[in-house]
Chains A and B, each alone.
Chain A
């Protein structure tokens, strides 16, 4: 039975009047899965999310940076399965948190479809190399194709090769080909295990990582560790509901208030992404830069400036690709940036269509002059007001400017390690949920926009900020009604959850 309480009213008129408009602002809320027209045509280079947070490791305090690319990787997309583009440079920038200028860059370059192929005379990339069977370790005789990569550190024009011929983790084909990703317990207490064949995640130590992931985590010199491979898409939001004329399962608010009741549907559940990640000891980072954190002095957070770094990601492709009727394409010329990403949501939800592709080509150093207007004058707030009859502040949004301009994740590197999803005290809402972290300068926000952790509910935090700022005299919680990822994140590097299995996943089988 559908319950319907018919209630009073003044709010109703505004809601009805604006109903059709509701799609416009919210349709873009996919972190960065559909941020701009041109990059939508190039999935392999389409960045979806950047995570950056302070953690602990055997090498002391570290900065973890995990970047996802290629939205909506289909786990069962055989026989080739998605992999990184071999003519793109996937970059992580350590930047000045105030200006966005790159201080150091980590470039990942991947091998092509031929290198690492054991047996070109089969249709299978996985499960049959020189022998048929389940892959037991990366690159064994059952894995026909293994993509490898190199990592180079760039400081100015100085390049340092940190590692080469590093193996990526294989896709999760399924129980019969990549069993070590998945739940192999067929029966429980004599009954069929409903999760038989599903990916298993939630490791809390290197020892409890699945063997493929463990093998793909590579330790380089100076305590730097890296990982590349397919993973679960760690972003969660009810995009399908938003697109379907704002299905009432999300943003059910008729007025200004809201909360998250879990009735949304994670539109990303069961899908994978390609992930490249690096863990850097804080001692190996460029010198931290002084900056004032967002919300300093408010909500019990320290008012004092701190030091840290900015983080963003980019993907670049050669200027020229020459296709041939008789051979593989040939690329040449300098690399051109085709996508970039720092904070979640900025290009998607705030930058207008006319500038979205420009944004992807630009450096954060021009954000203050070219794109600050989109933060200061939030069209999203205007549209929500139109739709909901609310009175959110639409101009002079210096609070949003402080978060998004320049569009880099500002990470306070003076703090203790932040809490992780699944640990006591972790709140997906960060300081809004009481989740703070200590630093010598006082109490700091543990989650986004102090960096970004896996599980940070950036949609809810952003909507809440739009509804509450710039004064924040009251904090109005607004939500898309989805409060958790469909998989449990790992609590160790590379943190993102195990890739969903092609044969059994929460998108297709559950």
Chain B
């Protein structure tokens, strides 16, 4: 899980769209294909995300032959039990209003599975906006009830794939998506969720194929943004930016959808050093979604890059205020307080990070790698970090084919003095995707520790050149380590290790 982005925000929800002629462009800029579709798709698409933190749901039986999550209690949802689980909402945001509206409609259309699917979708959207996993369970109940009314209801099956993806239960998510596609072969949202799961597991080839199907069926914000995100994680930032801009122009039903795309755009630009271009995206996004946690996180990072530490702290505090479970926001604020010398406040944030981790775990998120990275970054509880990583590695490398996961593992191994393992997973992390400052930094630190000083110098230098603001704390460590390597292995100064 990336701690640099929202733990709950997905890749943008898709909504019914009418599709016309689609001319397609082959990535790489050398060829084009033409595809024609004309279809109205009414699908609640949602998305797992590269940083989604799953929430354990109450209630999960095997409705369609797919195993439910462990610990589920709402085995046989009823209209009453579903409604009872729906969070009480105000009418502040569009998502809140949508939940209230869809809840009402389940009373007038109680026998219509689509009404329950729509309710589930609205609740999932609420989850995205609040970065709070509590509501995934109620959404799952709504989907499951829809399936009791119509076992092969494609949208409900897709909703279940969304729920599972949100919990980082990617195999389950794929299985639900397969069911949805079997029920309706042009269920574009299911392709999206299938691709999301493939992406999260590091199966980039599979994700490209699956997203392509989604793009062919329905080119819109949801499919564009997914494609953009995949291009980004596989190293084609330039085209990713271009495609994400198309996603923004396509628009979505909720301000959050576009805000997420703006946030992604900002992150892409920021990751290659473009602070001002990233700032433009954030400012634009905040016009319609001023309290979007993802945008606020980017706003804080940009302000820090522009040497405005108080402003960065204010933005990060706003993140934590509007989304108290927002892990990236909590960790960022911890780092910013440390930079500001606000030790007591930093300790408070550390406690909140750990509380959030417990919270997610209690709600079904078995993915605690973000906590392992947090510990490793700050030399805290390194043995606990190692336990988390070992728990993942014990499941085999299949769990670690995603570069970010492998990189976090490498970093934790490094911090625990396990050089061989650190090197192995660092190589794995860099075997896919494009250059990434954090991965280069980790690799450089590992190389330095192992005595490969030339490698270390180059990787640390390139990390800083690629994005000097890749981390509020670690970027400085990177520069200090690079400086410390000066003169080593020069002339007669045969320093094998530092």
Enumerate chain A interface residues (CB-CB to B < 8 A): 1-12, 15-16, 19, 179-180, 183-185, 188-189, 193-195, 198, 200-205, 207-211, 248, 251-263, 299-300, 421-429, 431-436, 455, 464, 474-477, 479, 481, 483-489, 491
Contact = CB atoms under 8 A, between A and B. Distances in A.
* Main secondary structure on A side of the interface with B: loop
A450 to B, nearest CB: 15
Interface in B8-65: 22-30, 32-33, 35
Given A208-B487, A434-B307, A429 B273 contact: yes
Given A205-B487, A255-B242, A259-B268, 11 more contacts: A193-B454, A203-B490, A252-B238, A253-B241, A422-B479, A428-B273, A432-B275, A476-B277, A477-B241, A483-B435, A483-B465
A12 B24 CA distance: 8
Given A4-B208, A262-B435, A422-B483, A210 B491 contact: yes
B358 to A, nearest CB: 34
Contact of B274 (A16, A433, A484): A433
Nearest to A189: B451
Interface in B318-373: none
22 contacts: A5-B211, A6-B24, A6-B25, A6-B32, A7-B27, A7-B219, A8-B25, A180-B491, A188-B496, A208-B487, A210-B491, A248-B30, A251-B238, A254-B29, A254-B242, A258-B242, A431-B276, A433-B468, A433-B469, A436-B307, A474-B277, A477-B272
Interface of B: 22-30, 32-33, 35, 204-205, 208, 211-212, 215-216, 219, 224, 227, 230-231, 234-243, 245-246, 268-269, 271-277, 280, 302, 305-307, 434-435, 450-455, 457-458, 460-462, 464-466, 468-469, 475-476, 479-480, 482-483, 485-487, 489-492, 494, 496
Contacts of B480: 424
A491 B464 CA distance: 14
Contacts of B273: 260, 427-429, 432-433, 483
Contacts, number: 272
Contacts of A188: 450-452, 496
A259 B28 contact: no
B496 A260 contact: no
B435 A475 contact: no
A485 B466 CA distance: 11
Given A12-B32, A202-B486, A475 B280 contact: yes
B275 A427 contact: yes
A487 B455 CA distance: 11
A253 B452 contact: no
Given A4-B26, A477-B277, A253 B238 contact: yes
Given A8-B22, A253-B238, A259-B237, A433 B452 contact: no
A432 B451 contact: no
A238 to B, nearest CB: 12
A146 B119 CA distance: 82
Contacts of A487: 458
A299 B276 contact: yes
B458 A488 contact: yes
